[in-house]
Structure 1
């Protein structure tokens, strides 16, 4: 596609090679990476706030799966939301280097006022924040106002946009909005944005109020997710219509300069970005990073000029792009290369000697395979259907998956709740991680899944063929995972075939309930485990709940824990809800992955904050060190 906004920077760094060359280097580059990485001077070369450098600073890295688009009302995948977080502004954000996660105002004058019953939240915006220039504004400078957040929240209720995150708002029942949505759907009329509702009130130009039917002590976290509740201007949506996914216009530090779908995403500085200076607390557990953070204090944000994101689904070329100095970062180091780059989970000596920086973390996510509960083969709530899913789970060797496909970079999941979120208990154990082929075979025998026609494969209890279909992606890790699935089902004498497509295609099919089984992961966007229990919420079928599980007993527990303050009573309810998910097995929860990010020596201030997706403006490029590293 053509650039949406004329690029202000050259298409490539003048001192760098074409990004396609790394594809030709082959496996030999892995053995000679010590020669490829040149030494870099220690220490950051700071530039005073307000000054510019002659050489544009470009931050390059790669996504390992393709994006879907950049409209907060329509996206749910982490890749699209990461880009959206750099373009749009949520009212709140997280402190970049602070753990556990801590909220702070983003475009607000102060933290929102929250009533004692958690049902009323009042926000006040800073004046003088402006959207990036766009044709939709007809040459006028457009200020961010309270009306923009009201409009952006309402868009999730508009049936036109099919918001995958609507359940997060309906869970707390913003007063009047669900009723308005039901009314327009029944009448088959366009959504009426101008009709006032009790739950969203504009108090003045810069203040708005959200009123909930159900108090939720943790709902405020949602207002730190710019890929969900980032402010979108009504003029932009009306100007671009169905093409708004391609035309994101926000008030954050970046604007979309060029997008080649599933290939490359270029973002330039937003010239209208407000004057904001680096003010982050240094981490207490990383002295090197702490020194970098201290040196960045007071710098004008953003500190780099352009962000270039390639889509490189295969692990080897993504790794070679980092080794070959084509990228500044490799996020989520491919497991295939963990033994080379991080032997025994420590940075390889040759990389450490050259100043490569390592960030290692357990992701607040769970990787799972789901069963479509509406599917006639694997779905349903009767004992025979539950037995089939449990048998498939028992025949899946998670220990082998961790050792082989994930190279030891994961821990077995005992349930949906992930590390780094409230409610996770590392001592909790369940049948979810059990591998027991004999028990699996006995379950299938007991419920009539036997070889009825003598062909060596199990059939359904009615004698019809038992056939599983598992969706996956064409990357190397996915291929290794489905090989393990094939071996497990062969041992169980259950037929399985695989449907391979790219991630955006599978996501679209999953949302439309067209997949029988799919292996994917779910990532927390807040430091609370509610998002993982939402995987079983009947009201979120086709959204977070890809399995389309709908059990009244679970739904009641899910809603009960939402309204409870944190404490032992809430933990007990969450544990019971988790037990039902394990018992009915709509999901085979597999692992919580452990990831490693690597940064080149000239990158300053990089850290992984799993909830703050907008990290680009908090890092700098030491241009002198970069030039010294060029061959």
Structure 2
């Protein structure tokens, strides 16, 4: 059985690889890839490939990695992501009460918005309130649940003004929590916690994110945004640390297809980008120190829509599909970049946490397939009555390769008839959220902070990005208990119980844990890896070749 699956998958992979090669991964361009960095009118520019078109530049509504990458340059939160953990941002220092319930942040007096206005504590109060206010429509509001009153506000039971945040004076911010939260400082690196320029929001409403309207407090400001092309940023001369910012401009190019991104990197049109699966081996062999492979706090998975047939009230069917996926083949023959087969939900590498692993993770391949066929039959399906299902994914060739592979596995093991359907990123996100047309959908979750809870909370019944529609009161109750604990072994044990409970219900099919594979031109300096794969342009600099 394994040989049949491998042969079928490799045939599909070879076809896709050939097509990618024909699309132009050669050196057939006029530009020398070693030509050097971009300099315009004496100003240095970092050119970053940024995947799909960013969903929004509203920090309190953004959900996707593409938007977050840009927002990280435009805005600065109280703290920043660092290689060893959170580091000072707008807050130059802070104190935490002995009971872990009160945080007091001292803001830099020199912090300024891009129009020169001072950044004050009330700007953070307004940003945090805006995230949890139901009128904002943030699908990420529940991430702020540790703050006192946040859940009541999100549920419409209290006003946003009751949130446990207060400006003690212009440069002192107090945040009160409902319970000790060991990851809270890491959470404050997320865009939902960014400040908002209140006057701009009041004047422009939803149009405050447009060039000419957007006032930001980070190292860069928005100068241009062209749909399906690029977003251009330039240095914010009022930024408190502008004297140490060394790159003048950042161009974020929207390049949805990984093969096109790789082609443009080799042609010297971008300085920072990814590498598609089809070209990974070549890049590793030929691009030397330009390829950076690092652990990444993320899981790639297929979600199952539990709110409608065929997966609603069908646990046997859901588990049959989970068991019929050969993750080792996926990571060895399809992705091939060091990804780790995922049988659990929380990625490895988080200190003190031992993943929950289903028993079948230790079974032989043959035993998993046999149980998958038994459950498939129990669910009422057979060769005469096969499951017909649609796998929906956002347009990108690596996503297609994975979908082709999984569909072939389901066909070989169970006889499932799967069709593939690809969509542009924003349409794909909208359809997942609405849960009206989705059955199986591709997804990935990158941790918002370095704690298992960032993965567990995604499947809470009230989470705005729970696109499977998973709702288990016992699971929600476990999360409530976890959120009331300060840390330690009891919290880790409960998180492992929650992970095991969710996996037993099969609302998602974890496929593999990510690694980051980043190509960076040799003239870009200052790159420091971190498990979140979050980088600030202000920490980088450009050195001409030979300089």
* TM-score, normalised by the number of residues in structure 1: 0.76
Q: 1:185-584 alignment to 2 at 5 Å? A: 196-197=161-162, 199-225=164-190, 227-246=191-210, 247-275=213-241, 300-330=243-273, 332-343=274-285, 348=286, 351-352=287-288, 356-380=289-313, 385-422=314-351, 424-425=353-354, 430-431=359-360, 435=365, 436-450=368-382, 456-458=384-386, 466-491=387-412, 492-514=414-436, 515-540=438-463, 543-584=464-505
Q: Which runs of 5+ in 2 are unaligned?
A: 1-19
Secondary structure at 2:462 match in 1:
helix
Residues 50-91 of structure 1: CA deviation (Å, up to 9, x unaligned): xx9962111012122221011111111111011111111100
Residues 64 and 304 (structure 1), Cα distance of their counterparts in 2 relative to 1, 3 Å cut: same
Residues 381-438 of structure 1: CA deviation (Å, up to 9, x unaligned): xxxx110000011112222221233124311012111134345547956436975332
Task: Say whether the 8 Å CA contact 2:147–2:177 is kept in structure 1.
Answer: yes
Moved more, 441-450 or 319-328: 441-450
Residues 73 and 268 (structure 1), Cα distance of their counterparts in 2 relative to 1, 3 Å cut: same
Match among 120, 126, 133 for residue 151 of structure 1: 126
The residue number in structure 2 matching 1:30 is 26
The residue number in structure 2 matching 1:285 is none
Distance across 2 between alignment mates of 1:411 and 1:499: 26
Offset at 1:197? 2.4
Secondary structure at 2:185 match in 1:
helix
Offset at 1:181? 6.1
Distance across 1 between alignment mates of 2:377 and 2:150: 52
Offset at 1:208? 2.0
Distance across 2 between alignment mates of 1:417 and 1:248: 36
The answer to which structure has the higher strand fraction is 2
Offset at 1:258? 0.9
1:124 maps onto 2:106 in alignment: yes
The residue number in structure 1 matching 2:50 is 63
Residues 167-201 of structure 1: CA deviation (Å, up to 9, x unaligned): 1123x2523772486158xxxxxxx76xx426222
Residues 607 and 483 (structure 1), Cα distance of their counterparts in 2 relative to 1, 3 Å cut: same
Task: Say whether the 8 Å CA contact 1:91–1:106 is kept in structure 2.
Answer: yes
Task: Say whether the 8 Å CA contact 1:410–1:593 is kept in structure 2.
Answer: yes
Moved more, 613-622 or 66-75: 613-622
Secondary structure at 1:528 match in 2:
coil
Distance across 2 between alignment mates of 1:613 and 1:122: 25
Offset at 1:29? 5.4
Distance across 2 between alignment mates of 1:304 and 1:620: 6
Offset at 1:530? 0.7
1:102 maps onto 2:85 in alignment: yes
Residues 509-540 of structure 1: CA deviation (Å, up to 9, x unaligned): 22222322211100012111111111221231
Q: Which runs of 5+ in 1 are unaligned?
A: 1-23, 45-51, 134-140, 185-191, 277-299, 459-465, 627-631
* TM-score, normalised by the number of residues in structure 2: 0.87
Task: Say whether the 8 Å CA contact 2:353–2:492 is kept in structure 1.
Answer: no
Distance across 2 between alignment mates of 1:409 and 1:335: 11
Residues 203 and 39 (structure 1), Cα distance of their counterparts in 2 relative to 1, 3 Å cut: closer
Secondary structure at 2:188 match in 1:
helix
Distance across 1 between alignment mates of 2:193 and 2:64: 15
Residues 120 and 131 (structure 1), Cα distance of their counterparts in 2 relative to 1, 3 Å cut: same
Cα RMSD (Å): 2.8
Distance across 1 between alignment mates of 2:358 and 2:155: 42
Offset at 1:494? 2.4
Distance across 2 between alignment mates of 1:428 and 1:126: 45
Residues 165 and 180 (structure 1), Cα distance of their counterparts in 2 relative to 1, 3 Å cut: closer
Residues 549 and 166 (structure 1), Cα distance of their counterparts in 2 relative to 1, 3 Å cut: same
Task: Say whether the 8 Å CA contact 1:257–1:267 is kept in structure 2.
Answer: yes
The residue number in structure 2 matching 1:291 is none
Residues 176 and 575 (structure 1), Cα distance of their counterparts in 2 relative to 1, 3 Å cut: closer
Offset at 1:256? 1.1
Task: Say whether the 8 Å CA contact 2:233–2:250 is kept in structure 1.
Answer: yes
